[in-house]
């Protein structure tokens, strides 16, 4: 049993929802022991990207003792898995969401605090009060600019998405006055050794009970409606297509 995500499948290569697909063997990674195919797809590209972001923060020395970490777009696929992993690893997680009704869900996943997206959505100051040691951002634009301006000295933010926009209206102040680092996360073309390590870590550091909480299944005929709901911001966590 193997996992395939990224490499342009469903974008430049046919087969995203195929029952069978002919692909390059180098694109495949083995399904970790103790994880079912359904589990793997509940993690999916979003959860795998979240793990890549966690690993990047760890490489930069952002460990739980450094202080809180923020996760933006918290109720989405990346955010939901990131919160679960980070909390399991012992981090104090601050979840940022535009859907206040999802606060109980985020706390159940392991968030210690939930803040409104509005706190981060306005144009950012060059520097603001230090609030966290690190974070994972899937939103971009003003949200990422604010997150950077509020990162403590020597901290780091892993950027992996653009749900709010592709622009980044910030200044050099966080980088040259606080030594903050912006860590870019790409999941699509990540080399195989990195993928293998990410999936190994997912198998050990992601609570499968939380995974079942943050995912749901739909039939093949539900794909189009689910896609519309994702665009409209109505989906929380992950959706698995039962083939």
pLDDT of residue 227: 93
pLDDT tens figures, 234-243: 888 999 999 8
Q: Which of 9-18, 139-148, 204-213 has the highest mean pLDDT?
A: 139-148
Which is nearest to 136 in space by CA: 214, 78, 59? 78
Helix (H, G, I), strand (E, B) or coil at 138: coil
156, 127 Cβ separation under 8 angstroms = no
Mean pLDDT of the chain: 94
Beta-carbon contacts of residue 32 (< 8 Å; ≥ 6 apart): 40, 199, 200, 202, 203
Domain with CATH 3.40.50.720 in the chain: 46-184
Helix (H, G, I), strand (E, B) or coil at 70: strand
pLDDT of residue 161: 95
pLDDT of residue 39: 95
Region 69-95 average pLDDT = 96
pLDDT at 121 over 90: yes
Helix (H, G, I), strand (E, B) or coil at 202: helix
pLDDT of residue 17: 81
Region 176-191 average pLDDT = 97
- Stated pTM of the model: 0.94
Q: Longest C-alpha distance within the chain, in Å?
A: 53
Phi, psi angle pair for 238, to nearest 5°: -120, 150
Class of domain 46-184: alpha beta
pLDDT at 15 over 80: no
pLDDT of residue 182: 98
CA distance 158 to 134: 8
């Amino acid at each position: 049993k193997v996992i395939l995500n990224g490499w342009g499948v469903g974008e430049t290569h046919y087969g995203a929802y195929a029952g069978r697909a002919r692909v390059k063997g180098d694109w495949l990674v083995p399904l970790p022991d103790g994880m079912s195919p359904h589990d793997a797809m509940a993690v999916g590209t979003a959860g795998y990207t979240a793990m890549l972001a966690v690993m990047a923060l760890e490489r930069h020395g952002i460990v739980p003792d450094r202080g809180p970490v923020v996760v933006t777009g918290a109720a989405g696929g990346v955010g939901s898995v990131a919160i679960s992993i980070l909390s399991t690893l012992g981090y104090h997680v601050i979840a940022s969401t535009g859907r206040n009704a999802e606060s109980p869900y985020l706390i159940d996943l392991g968030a210690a605090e939930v803040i409104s997206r509005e706190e981060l959505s306005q144009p950012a100051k060059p520097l603001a009060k230090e609030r966290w040691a690190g974070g994972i951002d899937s939103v971009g634009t003003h949200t990422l600019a604010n997150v950077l301006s509020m990162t403590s000295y020597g901290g780091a933010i892993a950027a992996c998405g653009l749900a709010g926009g592709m622009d980044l209206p910030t200044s050099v102040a966080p980088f040259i006055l606080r030594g903050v680092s912006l860590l870019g996360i790409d999941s699509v073309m990540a080399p195989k050794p990195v993928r293998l390590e990410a999936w190994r870590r997912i198998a050990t550091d992601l609570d499968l009970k939380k995974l079942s909480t943050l995912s749901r299944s739909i039939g093949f005929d539900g794909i189009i409606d689910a896609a519309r709901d994702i665009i409209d911001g109505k989906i929380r966590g992950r959706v698995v297509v039962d083939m």
